[in-house]
Structure 1
C-alpha cells in the first residue's frame, strides 16, 4: 500500500513543548522544587508552553526499600507542592505536568501526576495505574493503584494523556488514552540500572524502554514526551547496589521519530516545536483506529488465555 503524505493539507500549528531531566541528591523538597523551577523558567523563556517534570521529582526515589517513615514524604493534593507549582504555572502562563507522592487519606497513598493550565488551579490529575514490585522498586508497599481510569486532561494546548513510569510498558494504557482523544502522551519516569547488571544487559533494558514508548507513538499516531530522572541514588539498604537512573529523556513524533534526546549522565532540558496537525495527517494515511477488529478483542480483558 503506497501512501502519499503530501496528499493531505498541512496547516502548521506549532506547540513548543519541553521537559526537565533532573538529579536528586536529598529529600529537601524546597531545594528540589527550586531546581525544577529554574529549569522550567528557562524553558518558558524559550517559548515552551507545555512542560513535563519527571516522576516523584520532590524527593529521592524512596522506593528502594520498604520503610514506613517514608510515608512522611507524602502530602495532600491540594497541598504545599501543588501551591508551589500552581503559582509557577500561573506566573509563566504555561501548562505544567508534575508528579507527586499523594496522601489521599490515613493509610492511603498514590503516585499522582498533577496538571496545571496557565493557572494556580489544578486542571486535572492522574493516579498511576500499574504499580511495580521489584528489587529496588518496591512501589506496591507505598502506592495504591489508581482509580481514575485512563482519562486525558483537557488543557489550553489540547488533551494530555498523562501516564506514569511503569504505565509506559503497557500498550493498553496508551491506547485507551488515545481512544479518549489524547493529543500527546506524557510519561514522567524514574527508571535506572542495577549496577550489578552487565553493560550489555543495561543497554538492552534502555533500548527496550525507548522502543516500547516509541511504539505507543506509532500505534496511536501521537507525540510522546518522556522525562526520566538522572544520576546515582545509593540504596539505604546495606549491600544493595543502588540505582543509576539512566536519563535519556526524549521527545518522539507521531511516527515514533526521535525529535530530541538527553544524555545519561547530567541534568538537561529538552524543547521541541511540535506540528500538531501531523497527528491528523498521519491518522488519515495510517488509519489504525479504523481497522481495529474490536469485535475480536474481548479476551484482552482476561488475565491470561488458558
Structure 2
C-alpha cells in the first residue's frame, strides 16, 4: 500500500507565506503516516492576470533556490517524498512552470517543465511562461513509478500514454485548473480518462479559490474516484493499493492491445 497526501491549496501572492504553508503540510503529512505529499501547480505563488511578466520573473527561483532547498530539508527531516511545483527562472522575463520530485532523503530526483502552455479559452500562459522541451521518464519512488504532468498536459492523452508505456503506474498532475463553463466536468472527465486508458492511478492536486476550480482528485486504474476534495482547502491522505495496477492491466490489457504496427496514417 502507498499512503499519499494530497494538498488542495489556495496560494497567495506571497511566496514566503506559501512556503511556510507547504512546510506545515509536509509535517502534517508525516504525522498522518503518508509516504508522499503532492502539491498543486502554482504552489510558489498565485499570479493574477494583471501581474506583469517581469514581476513574476522576480518571484521565480532556480531548482537550487531557497524554495526547493527548504522543501528538500523538510522532506529529509520528516522522511517524506514530495511532489512540488515552482516558477523556475527561465529566459528574459518568462519563467518555466516546473514540477520537482523530492526523495525522502531530501534530494531532487526529477525536474519536469510543463510542455503544454494554457493558451486557450481566453488565457495565454505563454505571455509569462516558457514551454518545456521534454517529457521526463517515470521516477521510481516508494509510492510507485511516478510520471509527472502539469494541468493542461492532461488534455493531451499521448503524454500520459508515453509515461505509462515507459513504466508509470501512477500519474501525478499538479494543477491550477481555471473555473469556467463546463470546466469542472472537463477536469473530472480528463482525470478519470487518463486513469482508465492507462490502467494507472492518477493523483491530481489542484488549486482552490482565486480563479481555480478545486476538486483535487485521486482516481484508481479502473476509474473509481478515491478522493474528490470539493472546494475545501486542506490535505487528505489516500491509501493506494499499487497491486491494483497489475490486476487492472491484466483484466483490461489496453497497453498490450495497442496496434502500434498500424498506428501510421497513410494517404
Superposition TM-score tier, normalisation by shorter sequence:
over 0.9
Partner of 2:229: 262
Specify whether residues 192 and 132 from structure 1 end up closer, same or farther in structure 2 by C-alpha distance, changes over 3 A only.
Answer: closer
Contact 1:65 1:138 in 2 (8 A): no
The 1-side partners of 2:72 and 2:204 are apart by 21
Q: Which moved more, 1:107-116 or 1:253-262?
A: 107-116
Specify whether residues 208 and 105 from structure 1 end up closer, same or farther in structure 2 by C-alpha distance, changes over 3 A only.
Answer: closer
2:209 to 231, 254, 258: 231
Q: The residue matched to 2:188 in structure 1 has which SS?
A: helix
- Note the 1:36-55 alignment, pairs <5 A: 36-55=22-41
The 2-side partners of 1:153 and 1:64 are apart by 36
The 2-side partners of 1:70 and 1:160 are apart by 29
Quote the offset at 1:155 in angstroms: 2.4
* Structure 2 unaligned residues grouped into runs of 5+: none
1:71 to 51, 57, 66: 57
Q: The residue matched to 1:161 in structure 2 has which SS?
A: strand
Quote the offset at 1:106 in angstroms: 4.7
1:91 aligns with 2:71: no
Partner of 1:133: 119
Aligned-pair RMSD on alpha carbons? 1.9
Partner of 1:247: 214
Quote the offset at 1:154 in angstroms: 2.5
Q: Which moved more, 1:47-56 or 1:130-139?
A: 130-139
Partner of 2:264: 298
Partner of 2:4: 17
TM-score with structure 2 setting the length: 0.93
Instruction: Report Cα offsets for 1:194-224 as digits up to 9, x if no partner.
Output: 4xxxxxx3xx221121111111101111110
The 2-side partners of 1:47 and 1:295 are apart by 45
1:271 aligns with 2:237: yes
* Structure 1 unaligned residues grouped into runs of 5+: 1-13, 195-200, 233-242, 300-304
Contact 1:19 1:271 in 2 (8 A): yes
Bigger Cα Rg: 1
1:178 aligns with 2:164: yes
Aligned length: 267
- Note the 1:51-62 alignment, pairs <5 A: 51-62=37-48
